[in-house]
Copies of this chain bind each other. A is one copy, B any other.
Amino acid sequence: MLSKKTKYGIKALTYICSHESDGAIPIAIISEAENISHKFLETILLTLKKGGILSSKKGKGGGYYLLKDPKEVFMSDIIRLLSGPIAMVPCVSLNFYEKCDDCPDEETCGINRLMLEVRDSTLKVLKQKSLAQLTMESSK
């Protein structure tokens, strides 16, 4: 299941994206518009900043703004930053690989192969949808 954190993150990003012309947008504005706890949103935007998607300006007139072209920000990037691995088992994760503690041999593990297929098909969807696209769809 998609965590609220990730959902909030996506919503905040689409908000920022569709108000890009306004310059930097303060947390308070987004949190009110999207009904997200101010403090919780803070940690989310911070993560997105550390992940290189957003940047911020402090002080009066400050706020968050997109650092990358929204056409180049993909759902897979956002979800990885906020929820971690996309794969359902660590042993097929591209960005967070880890050996399964129980499985002795990945080569002969049926679950491994199955989940590899699942990961590929999921990733295919998530990598082709950009923030720009999602924002456009949502504003209709």
Q: Using a CB–CB distance below 8 Å, which chain A residues touch chain B? A: 1-2, 7, 10-11, 14, 35, 75, 85, 88-90, 102, 108-111, 113-115, 117-118, 121-122, 124-126, 129, 134-135, 137-138, 140
Contact = CB atoms under 8 A, between A and B. Distances in A.
Contacts of A129: 114, 117
A100 B128 CA distance: 24
B14 A110 contact: yes
Number of copies: 2
Which of A7, A109, A124 gathers the greatest number of chain B CB atoms within 10 Å? A7
A48 B113 CA distance: 23
A83 to B, nearest CB: 9
Given A1-B85, A114-B129, 5 more contacts: A11-B111, A110-B138, A118-B125, A121-B122, A122-B122
Nearest to A100: B7
Q: Is the interface of A mostly helix, strand, loop or mixed?
A: helix
Contacts of A124: 121
A121 B114 contact: no
A118 B85 CA distance: 15
24 contacts: A1-B85, A1-B89, A2-B88, A7-B102, A7-B111, A10-B110, A11-B111, A35-B102, A75-B114, A108-B137, A108-B138, A110-B134, A110-B137, A110-B138, A113-B137, A114-B126, A114-B129, A117-B125, A117-B129, A118-B122, A118-B125, A118-B126, A121-B122, A121-B124
